[in-house]
């Protein structure tokens, strides 16, 4: 069922890996999923250009045709989104996930946060596989984006 959605975004070539990313101010967390939904790996990167390059190298370990499903493309993920789009990778925007899972995890805030961002990154990738995340993020290079900068 997910094949038509996968092929649609990548213009004829179905991606061989889906990278879900949960973005934050200082660190981004990525989870790689196979097209059948199997979890391939998890990776944390700093939200810097070097971190973005590290994410690209890491994602290429799982396949040569990745698609990135990013939560927060117009806020903390804006830099990552621009970097990936400039490199020619397909990127889709994912709405924020339901936070009720976080509330059920316990009282240790740091442990909850570490688990929650991995859950959110995986949920972003699964939203793409399910076909509920198909929006192309705004680039900020159009007239509206330029006016907003003024």
Is the confidence at residue 145, as pLDDT, over 70?
Answer: no
State how far the Cα of 23 lies from the Cα of 26, in Å rounded to an integer: 9
Report whether 127 contacts 9 (CB < 8 A): no
Here the tokens at position 144 are: 């509206």
pLDDT tens digits along 78-87: 899 999 999 9
20 vs 131: which has the higher pLDDT: 20
The pTM of the full predicted model, rounded to 2 decimals, is 0.77
Q: Which pLDDT score, from 0 to 100, does residue 8 have?
A: 42
The domain segmentation of the chain, as residue ranges, is 3-149
Choose among 6, 58, 9, 2: nearest CA to 29.
Answer: 58
Level-2 CATH architecture, domain 3-149 = 2-Layer Sandwich (3.30)
A 10 A CB-CB count for 41 gives 14
CA distances from 129 to 5, 21, 26, 54 (A): 8, 14, 27, 24
């Amino acid at each position: 069922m997910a094949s038509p959605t996968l092929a649609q975004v990548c213009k004829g070539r179905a991606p061989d890996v889906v990278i879900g990313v949960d973005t934050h101010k200082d660190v981004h967390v990525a989870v790689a999923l196979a097209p059948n939904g199997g979890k391939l790996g998890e990776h944390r990167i700093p939200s810097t250009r070097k971190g973005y390059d590290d994410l690209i190298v890491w994602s290429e370990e799982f396949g040569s045709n990745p698609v990135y499903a990013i939560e927060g493309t117009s806020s903390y993920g804006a830099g990552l989104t621009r970097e990936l789009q400039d490199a020619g990778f397909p990127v889709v925007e994912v709405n924020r996930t339901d936070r009720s899972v976080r509330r059920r995890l316990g009282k240790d805030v740091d442990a909850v946060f570490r688990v929650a961002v991995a859950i959110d990154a995986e949920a972003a990738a699964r939203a793409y596989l399910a076909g509920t995340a198909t929006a192309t993020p705004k680039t900020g290079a159009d007239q509206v984006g330029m006016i907003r900068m003024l």
